[in-house]
Structure 1
């Protein structure tokens, strides 16, 4: 698949692994919302639906996505899918670095806890994680597909997705 315009990017489901070994799964749900699951790294097991984000085309085939989570974590991702790479910068508040297990959940059901923790614990200094990543999977899921990120991550999930065992031809989950 060739990416040029924002419409080419929206509705795409990605799996990527940062140079530090952290594996993420991320979905450009529509022009203002993203869903994601974290499979490796400091907050592996965390998953989020309907995160409001700013999604723009920087130039042909290059897209920037930015958001602030209820945890106070700021994220900036630059996708270059035609080259199978992206660059992400995550600005973790000190409390997430000190207490990552609090965030390892389906965040949508624990927004109050995220906001409470953000107020209760130290925010600074931020833990900055700037990393390049190799995109290991891209799928055209279509926009607003609630099946893409619909359950907690499990061991081997990304391998199942890459092997074609997780979604059918219509990008609906096979395993439910």
Structure 2
């Protein structure tokens, strides 16, 4: 499998159909960049975690060369993510598990971990 040919420097932007705290439909936008074989950068633009920007160590797995890749990671905060990217169908499927603390205090999850003030 070729990471370089299939997904290196791939920039993905996708929206989740979700429901806001008021019960109304809304979009939760996520963005990521697969820039190396063991790191990504992602940003969350919608939903309770909007404003979160992160670079993360990840594990990529090629399921079918040229067709299907999986990207998984565990963050320092306990957040777990598993993402499958279907190249041929241009489809992303994810499972994200935020900690209870993130859901109870989502504003504390915002920011960029490269900024010490955002970790305070």
Q: Give the TM-score taking structure 2 as reference length.
A: 0.82
Shift of 1:11: 1.3
Pair 1:16–1:112, CA change in 2 (3 A): closer
Gaps of 5+ in 1: 115-176
Corresponding residue for residue 11 of structure 2: 13
Instruction: State how far apart, in whole Å, the 2-side matches of 1:24 and 1:31 are.
Output: 20
TM alignment of 1:84-163, pairs within 5 A: 84-110=90-116, 113=119
Which is richer in strand?
2
The number of residue pairs the alignment matches comes to: 110
Per the alignment, in what secondary structure is the counterpart of residue 41 of structure 2? Answer: strand
1:65 and 2:71 correspond: yes
Gaps of 5+ in 2: 19-26
Per the alignment, in what secondary structure is the counterpart of residue 108 of structure 2? Answer: helix
Q: Give the TM-score taking structure 1 as reference length.
A: 0.58
Runs of 4+ in 1 over 4 A off after TM superposition: none
Which is richer in helix?
1
TM alignment of 1:30-49, pairs within 5 A: 30-49=36-55
1:52 and 2:49 correspond: no
Larger C-alpha radius of gyration, 1 or 2? 1
Higher relative contact order (CA 8 A, sep 6+): 1
Instruction: State how far apart, in whole Å, the 2-side matches of 1:23 and 1:11 are.
Output: 19
Instruction: State how far apart, in whole Å, the 2-side matches of 1:9 and 1:113 are.
Output: 31
Instruction: State how far apart, in whole Å, the 2-side matches of 1:36 and 1:26 are.
Output: 4
Answer yes or no: is the 8 Å Cα contact 2:112–2:118 preserved in 1.
no
Pair 1:76–1:111, CA change in 2 (3 A): farther
